[in-house]
Structure 1
C-alpha cells in the first residue's frame, strides 16, 4: 500500500478538502501512474452532491486522468515506465460478457467498476484522479500520443470520448448536418470532433454569448435556443443532434429540428426525469437515444484521432486549492471550457 495526498468530499454536498488515501500495491498486471493533470467534469459535481443517487464517502472524484507510468507489475506488456498515459471513467469490467468481448466495456452487463465512487472486484472502494497517484490494471489504461500535451489531453478521457462515441456511431461526417446542444466542457469538444470528421456543424446554445468561440472551434453556424425563431428556421434540418445538456429540455421542440430518420442523442444526464409526447418521435421515424463514454479501444482511437487533428481541450489550469471555487463556476457556466487540476499542487 502507498499513502498519497488527495482531495476528497467527506460527505454529500460537503466541500472537498485535502486528505490522504491508500493506493494498493502494484499487482501483476497493474501500472502505477504519477498523475500530472486531472480534469473536473460536471459528473464529479453530480456525484459529490448525490444528484444521481446515493454515493460512497469519503469520495475522491476525477475520471479525466493524465500522467506518466512510474512502476509496472511483472505481467504488464502494454506499458513501460515513462509512458504517457490516461485513465477515464472506468478501471475494470467483467471482461466476459458480450459487450466486454466486443470492446464495449462501458456497457458491461455485469457492471463495470467506475474510477471513483465504485467498488472493485477486491471489495475496495475506488478513488479517482484528484490525487497524486493511481494504480490501474493495464487493460484500462490508454496511451496519450506525444502530439497531445498532458494538460489538454486529460479532459479527453471523459469529455472527448463521451462525444466521440456517438458521433462515430451515428456516422457524423461529410454530407451530414450535426447540431451540438450546449457549448460547455463536452459541447466544445463535440464541435471540434464533428468538424474534424467533416460534418456541417451547428451549435445550439441558450444565448449567443459564446458564438465567437463556437465558430473559432469549428462550428459553421450558431443559434440561440432562447430565440423562438431558431426552432422555426431550423425545423427538419439535422441528421444528428448531440445533447450535452445536464438539465431537463423540451424534447419535443428539439426533436422537431431533426430530419426524417434523424437522431437526438443524449450524453448529458439530468438529475430529473423527463416527459415526452411520443408523437414527436413517430412523426418522422426519429430516434431519441443515449450514449455513455466509450470502450477502451474506442477511447484509444479517439485519442489518436485528436492527436492527428490537433484537438486538445480548451482548458483553465487551476491549483487543487481552487477545486471548490471551480465547482461553483462550473454550475454558473463560468469556464471556457474545462477546469484541469495541476496535480503537483495536491
Structure 2
C-alpha cells in the first residue's frame, strides 16, 4: 500500500489517502520519496483550473528519493539509486517526437499527476524511461524542484541556442524565475530581472541578475526598447505584453514558460517589422534533465527552498497561494 495526501474535491484541503498500486510493471520503477517539491501546477490540478483533474488526486511531480523496486525489464536503474521524477511519468517511445528525442512533446505521454497519483506520498511509481538518476553532488532536499521548475527554465537555453553574449531578461522572480537567473548567469548571459518588489530586486542581484528593472513602471519598459535578445516570462498573470515585445531587439524572442491563461494581445506589426518571435515551452525530455543536473553541479546552482513536513502539506500550499514561499516549497516525507 502507498500512503499519500490527496484532494478529494476541487479547491479542498488534502487529506490522508491510502491506495494499492497493484503489481509493479515490468518497465516500471518505484521511488521511495524523500522530498517532493510543490509547484504551482499542483495547485492548478488541485483546484481543477485546467479542467482535467480526476479525484481523488495525489499531487506532486517534483520527486527526489531512492529506487525501492525495479521491474523485470529495467536495466537503467537499480534498487538504492538516487532518482527523480518530474511532470512526465512515461512516454509512448514510438511517435515522431519520441523518435527524435523530444519525449516531452509526446502527445500521449503519461503525466505524473494527471489521471494517476503523484509524489505527495511515501512512494510513487513511473516508467523507468521517465526517471533520471540524481548526481551525488546534488542534495536530495533541493533536487525535486529541478525536475520541473529547473528544467522548465533550462530547456529554452538549449532549444533556442541562447548564446553567452545574449542579453536576457526574466519576468517574475519566483519559483521559476529565481532559477532562471542562476542558469542564465552561469550560461554567460547579460541578465536582467523584471520585478516590482524592492526585496526581490536585491535578491535578484544576489541570484545572478546584473541589473533589475521595475516592471511596475511602464516608462521603464518603454526606455528599455530594443534591448533584449530574449525575454523569459515565468508569471501566470496577464501583463501588457506589447511593452515587453517592444523591449526586444531585432530577431528577439518573447518566450513563455509560465502558464498565463488569458489570450495574448499582441501588436503583429511589432513582430513583423523587427522579425521578432513569440514562443512557449514545457519541461524537457530526460536527456535535457540529465544535462541540467550536470550543469547545476558544475556551477553550484541550487533552488532556494523552504522545507515542510509532509503532514504539513496544507500549510505549505496555503503559504504558496498567499505568495509567502521563498522561493520553492519542498515536502519532507
Normalized against structure 1, the TM-score is what?
Answer: 0.93
User: 1:85-120 deviations in whole A, cap 9, x for unaligned?
Assistant: 0001011122111111122111113x21100123xx
Of 248, 266, 275, which residue of structure 2 is paired with 1:285? 275
Alpha carbons 1:172, 1:194 under 8 Å: kept: no
State how far apart, in whole Å, the 2-side matches of 1:153 and 1:312 are.
8
Alpha carbons 2:171, 2:235 under 8 Å: kept: yes
User: 1:119-165 deviations in whole A, cap 9, x for unaligned?
Assistant: xxxxxxx1011010012221111010000001111100000000000
**How far apart are residue 72 of structure 1 and its match?**
1.5
Of 1, 11, 14, which residue of structure 1 is paired with 2:12? 14
State how far apart, in whole Å, the 1-side matches of 2:320 and 2:265 are.
26
Of 242, 250, 256, which residue of structure 2 is paired with 1:266? 256
Of 113, 116, 124, which residue of structure 2 is paired with 1:116? 113
State how far apart, in whole Å, the 2-side matches of 1:183 and 1:24 are.
41
Counterparts of residues 160-179 of structure 1 (less than 5 Å): 160-179=150-169
- 5+ unaligned residues in a row in structure 1: which ranges? 119-125
Alpha carbons 1:161, 1:294 under 8 Å: kept: yes
State how far apart, in whole Å, the 1-side matches of 2:218 and 2:127 are.
50
User: 1:143-189 deviations in whole A, cap 9, x for unaligned?
Assistant: 10000001111100000000000122222332100101100000011
State how far apart, in whole Å, the 2-side matches of 1:38 and 1:59 are.
15
Alpha carbons 1:173, 1:194 under 8 Å: kept: no
RMSD over aligned Cα, in angstroms?
A: 1.3
State how far apart, in whole Å, the 1-side matches of 2:305 and 2:312 are.
14
Does residue 184 of the first structure (1) align with residue 155 of the second (2)?
no
- 5+ unaligned residues in a row in structure 2: which ranges? none
Normalized against structure 2, the TM-score is what?
Answer: 0.97
State the number of aligned residues.
Answer: 333
State how far apart, in whole Å, the 1-side matches of 2:42 and 2:262 are.
17
**How far apart are residue 317 of structure 1 and its match?**
0.3
Of 215, 227, 231, which residue of structure 2 is paired with 1:237? 227
User: 1:194-247 deviations in whole A, cap 9, x for unaligned?
Assistant: 111111111111323212211111110111101223213311110001100011
Counterparts of residues 77-226 of structure 1 (less than 5 Å): 77-109=75-107, 111-118=108-115, 126-226=116-216
State how far apart, in whole Å, the 1-side matches of 2:22 and 2:212 are.
48
**How far apart are residue 276 of structure 1 and its match?**
2.4
Could you say which residue in structure 1 is the equivalent of 2:60? 62
Could you say if the C-alpha distance between residues 143 and 204 of structure 1 is closer, same or farther in structure 2, counting changes exceeding 3 Å? Answer: same
**How far apart are residue 311 of structure 1 and its match?**
1.1
State how far apart, in whole Å, the 1-side matches of 2:98 and 2:222 are.
43
Does residue 306 of the first structure (1) align with residue 303 of the second (2)?
no
Alpha carbons 2:52, 2:114 under 8 Å: kept: no
Could you say which residue in structure 2 is the equivalent of 1:5? 3
Does residue 327 of the first structure (1) align with residue 317 of the second (2)?
yes
User: 1:254-273 deviations in whole A, cap 9, x for unaligned?
Assistant: 10110000001100012333
Alpha carbons 2:91, 2:130 under 8 Å: kept: no
